[in-house]
């Protein structure tokens, strides 16, 4: 795949933010995020809008999302902030001298790094866009966003607004996002922490970095397969719960873990609707915390799907209004004391085994990513593989289906492929069980 950069430009908002010296301090939620750029790849088959149309729409939508056109800086108290200075975002236009594969995928496409801007340290722009034009007329958008800018919900909202602006250029009824970051982290009159947040959200965890090299893998779960899984859970469950229960079991078997090992999942939880009063879904920023369901390997593999769903559900339920308010109070107390909280994240090349980390895009509507010629044919995050990471995404090929992107050790991939579609329900009855988690 030969590529040629035809243009690089700094795109600014069509309408500048009213004050170019406004500094927005990072919230306690922002400070738990990965401190760097996260790449996304969105694939569109021909026909597609022109680069001129895409850039015009992008400039228009940046006027509604001034943080994206800003820069990271420090205020007088040496707090990290986003400066709303209308500095703009980097746009790179690329010509690709080949035909776009109709089945472009995370693990099946070489040189994916050529399709999105660099995510190395030291990049000033908080958002970058690369428009890759193929000879057939196909388009691959490589979008990178600094995670301090916003979480998955925020970037999804931004992309949907961009698509709407390009799709209906004469319409100006774009919903204004909720931008007040300070409003979501107001502590209680008497701040009080009820949980050990310093050792939950900011804990330093040592993982095994000496396992075999990890490899990315994409697995599609059809509507019928998901229905079969749901049928194993009397009383019903969500698509997320049944698939996560299934993958937790199958990955544990593929890894060949000891029965006495404990395995835990770090589940990203969107807190917007869990705090009272609820924060609007169109809030642009970070508002994610994590749930930690935990089981002994022997129990995980012998419990029924329904029982594993209960364990997951109870762990997720713990991220409630009480927990979120405690976390906000923790941030206020730490700020008052001048404490510098360091973001903790798993480095590339690390293995999470025996644990897992899951992010879900199932709540995001990819039909909204229609720039006027149909929704994308593929969407994924081309991250360097970290063994044990999983992402759920609505399938672009089958409505109601789910595409799962995961990374496993190369020597475990074949085993996982052999068993990932087998459903072997445990003979253990569906009794009520507790929810062992690492938090409590």
Phi, psi for 221 (deg, rounded to 5) = -115, 120
Mean pLDDT of the chain: 89
With bands split at pLDDT 50, 70 and 90, how would you rate the model's confidence at 116?
very high
Contact criterion met (CB below 8 Å) for 42 and 369: yes
Give tens-digit pLDDT for 291-346: 999 999 999 999 999 999 999 999 999 999 999 999 999 999 998 888 878 777 77
Least confident of 63-72, 136-145, 342-351: 342-351
DSSP state of 69: G
Residues annotated catalytic, as ranges: 147, 370
Question: Cα–Cα distance between 201 and 33 in angstroms, integer?
Answer: 10
| Tens-digit pLDDT profile for residues 125-155 | 999 999 999 999 999 999 999 999 999 999 9
Q: Give which of 223, 270, 267 is closest to 402, Cα–Cα.
A: 223
- Cα-based distances in Å from 199 to 68, 108, 133, 329, 414: 31, 38, 46, 15, 36
In which band, very low, low, confident or very high, does the pLDDT at 171 lie, cut at 50, 70 and 90?
low
DSSP 334-380: HHHTT--PPP--PPTT-B-TT-EEEEE-TTS-GGG--SSS---SEEE
Q: Give the whole-angstrom CA distance, residue 159 versus residue 143.
A: 10
- pLDDT reported for residue 92: 98
Burial group, residue 114, by CB count within 10 angstroms (0-12, 13-18, 19+): middle
Between 84 and 434, residue with greater pLDDT: 84
Which pTM was predicted?
0.91
Task: Report d(CA 92, CA 289) in Å as an integer.
Answer: 33
Q: How far apart are CA 405 and CA 396, in angstroms?
A: 13
What's the whole-number mean pLDDT along residues 262-291? 97
Please report the pLDDT score of residue 343 as a whole number. Answer: 73
Task: Say what the pLDDT of residue 433 is.
Answer: 37
- The torsion angles phi and psi of 72, rounded to 5 degrees, stand at -75, 140
pLDDT, tens digit, 9 for 90 and up, residues 397-438? 898 999 999 999 999 999 999 999 999 765 333 333 344 455
Report which of residues 366 and 254 the model is more confident about: 254
- Is pLDDT larger for residue 217 or for residue 436? 217
Inform me whether the pLDDT recorded for 15 exceeds 60: yes
């Amino acid at each position: 795949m030969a590529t040629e950069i035809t243009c690089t430009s700094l795109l600014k908002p069509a309408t500048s933010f009213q004050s170019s010296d406004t500094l927005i301090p990072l919230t306690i939620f922002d400070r738990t995020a990965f401190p760097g750029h996260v790449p996304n790849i969105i694939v569109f088959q021909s026909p597609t809008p022109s680069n001129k149309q895409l850039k015009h729409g992008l400039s228009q939508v940046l006027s509604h999302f001034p943080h994206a056109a800003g820069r990271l800086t420090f205020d007088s108290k040496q707090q990290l902030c986003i400066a709303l200075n209308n500095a703009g975002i980097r746009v790179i236009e690329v010509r690709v001298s080949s035909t776009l594969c109709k089945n472009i995928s995370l693990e099946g496409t070489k040189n994916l790094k050529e399709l999105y801007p660099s995510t190395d340290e030291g990049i000033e722009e908080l958002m970058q866009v690369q428009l890759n034009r193929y000879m057939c007329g196909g388009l691959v958008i490589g979008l990178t966003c600094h995670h301090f800018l916003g979480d998955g919900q925020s970037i999804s909202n931004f992309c949907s607004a961009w698509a709407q602006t390009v799709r209906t250029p004469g319409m100006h009824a774009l919903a204004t996002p909720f931008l007040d970051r300070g409003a979501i982290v107001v502590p209680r009159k008497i701040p009080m922490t009820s949980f050990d947040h310093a050792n939950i959200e900011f804990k330093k965890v040592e993982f095994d970095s000496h396992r075999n090299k990890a490899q990315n893998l994409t697995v599609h779960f059809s509507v019928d397969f998901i229905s079969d899984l749901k049928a194993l859970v009397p009383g019903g469950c969500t698509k997320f719960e049944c698939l996560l229960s299934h993958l937790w079991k199958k990955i544990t078997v593929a890894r060949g873990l000891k029965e006495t090992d404990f395995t835990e999942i770090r589940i990203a939880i969107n807190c917007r609707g869990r705090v009272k009063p609820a924060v609007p879904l169109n809030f642009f920023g970070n508002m994610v915390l994590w749930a930690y369901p935990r089981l002994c390997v022997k129990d995980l593999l012998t419990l029924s799907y329904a029982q594993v769903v209960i364990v997951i559900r109870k762990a997720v339920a713990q991220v409630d209004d009480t927990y979120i308010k405690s976390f906000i109070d923790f941030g206020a107390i730490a700020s008052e004391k001048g404490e510098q909280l360091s973001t903790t994240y798993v480095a590339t090349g690390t293995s999470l085994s025996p644990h897992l980390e899951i992010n879900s895009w199932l709540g995001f509507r990819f039909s909204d990513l229609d720039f006027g010629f149909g929704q994308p044919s593929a969407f994924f995050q081309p991250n360097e593989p970290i063994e044990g990471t999983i992402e759920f995404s609505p399938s672009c090929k089958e409505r109601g289906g789910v595409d799962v992107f995961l990374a496993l050790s190369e020597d475990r991939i074949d085993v996982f492929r052999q068993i990932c579609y087998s459903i072997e329900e445990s003979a253990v009855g569906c009794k009520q069980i507790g929810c062992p988690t690492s938090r409590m």
